[in-house]
Amino acid sequence: MRIAQYDIRNTIYKQMLILGIETSCDETAAAIVEDGKKILSNVVISQVNLHRKLQGIVPEIASRRHLETILPAMKQALQQAQLKLENLDGVAVTYGPGLLGSLLIGLTVAKGIAYSLEIPLIGINHLEAHLYANFLLYPEVTPPLVGLIISGGHTELVYLSKRENTK
C-alpha cells in the first residue's frame, strides 16, 4: 500500500470523516476531522515531562513512548467524536519531517487501519500541516499569504498563492 499523494480537499464526499495521526517527534496526537473543516476531537499525549528529566528529546525513548500511547490516543479521539473505526472515510498521517522511529510508529498504525478498513491513507507533510491548520481556526483567511514555520529543527518561509499551491 502506498501513501496517497492527492489533495483530499477537492474530493466530494458526504460527511467525510478522517482520522489524523501525528507522531513526528515527542507528542502522540490523534484527531477526527469532518469534511476537512470541523474538528470533532483532538487528543494530544505529551512527553514533555519525560524528556525534561533527560534535558532533551531522546529519539529512541520518544518512539517507545509512542508505542504505548498511540492506541489510547486514537481510542480517546474516537470516543470524543462518538465514532467507531468503521465510520472513518480515510486516515491521514504525518510522513515527515521528523524523528524516524516516531514517524514509523504513526505510519505503521495508520497503514494498518487504512488497509484493514480499505480506506485511503493520506500522507501529510508535518511542516505544511502547521500552515494549513490555520485554515481550520481562521477560515476567513484567504491566499495569497506568507507563512513562517518554525518547528523543532526545521524552519521554512512559505508563499501560498492558492490554498493548494505552496512555494
pLDDT tens per residue across span 147-160 = 888 877 778 888 88
Say yes or no to pLDDT of 8 above 50: no
Domain holding 25: CATH number? 3.30.420.40
pLDDT (0 to 100) of residue 6: 44
**What grid cell was written down for 99?**
524523528
Cα separation, 102 vs 99, in Å, equals: 5
Domain-embedded: residue 161: no
Paired sense of beta strands 121-125 and 145-151, if any: unpaired
Domain-embedded: residue 99: yes
Tell me the pLDDT tens digit for each residue of 109-165.
999 999 999 999 999 998 888 888 888 888 888 888 888 888 777 788 888 887 766
Cα separation, 11 vs 48, in Å, equals: 37
Domain-embedded: residue 16: yes
Domain-embedded: residue 13: yes
Cα separation, 21 vs 32, in Å, equals: 9
Q: How many domains does the chain have?
A: 1
Across the range 8-21, mean pLDDT stands at 71
Residue type, 66: H
Say yes or no to pLDDT of 19 above 80: yes
Domain-embedded: residue 75: yes
**pTM for the whole thing?**
0.85
Cα separation, 167 vs 160, in Å, equals: 7
Across the range 45-59, mean pLDDT stands at 88
Domain-embedded: residue 15: yes
20 confidence band (pLDDT: 50, 70, 90): very high
Domain-embedded: residue 45: yes
- Domain with 95 in it: 8-126
Output DSSP code: residue 83. Answer: -
Domain-embedded: residue 121: yes
